[in-house]
Amino acid sequence: MSRGDVGVGPAGSSGSSGSFTATVSAITDAFGDPTRRRVYLLVREQPDPTLGLTAGQVADHIGVHPNVARHHLDKLAAGGYVEVSTARVAGASTAGRPSKRYRPPAA
């Protein structure tokens, strides 16, 4: 059976072409937007991934409104490409709700 035959997925794994199409669609949805790719790369390459970044920090770094950064971060989190934490950071104010912090998923 050649790669062009139905039933052979990526890297020679067996599966339906529908499954492959769904995978490609999910990846395109997650990374098809250039701003979302920049957001993902920033989160992935941050100096201290255990600390994470807030939507405000991401927005400042890539030059977009915090709501735009939050939208892209939430899309990436929904797809499992980033993790979200609300743990307080040492030295941060204890007033109010802690900020969401986004980091790469654990390996």
Per residue in 65-92, pLDDT (tens digit) is: 999 999 999 999 999 999 999 877 666 6
Alpha helices in the chain (DSSP H): 17-31, 34-44, 55-62, 66-78
Residue range 14-72, pLDDT digits in tens: 556 788 888 777 777 778 889 999 999 999 999 888 889 999 999 999 999 999 999 99
Residue 100: both structure tokens together: 């969401």
The three-class DSSP label of residue 38 is helix
CATH domain 33-103 topology: Arc Repressor Mutant, subunit A (1.10.10)
d(CA 22, CA 99): 33
Domain ranges of the chain: 33-103
CB crowding 64-84: b at 16 or more within 10 Å, else e: beeebbbbbbebbbeeebbbe
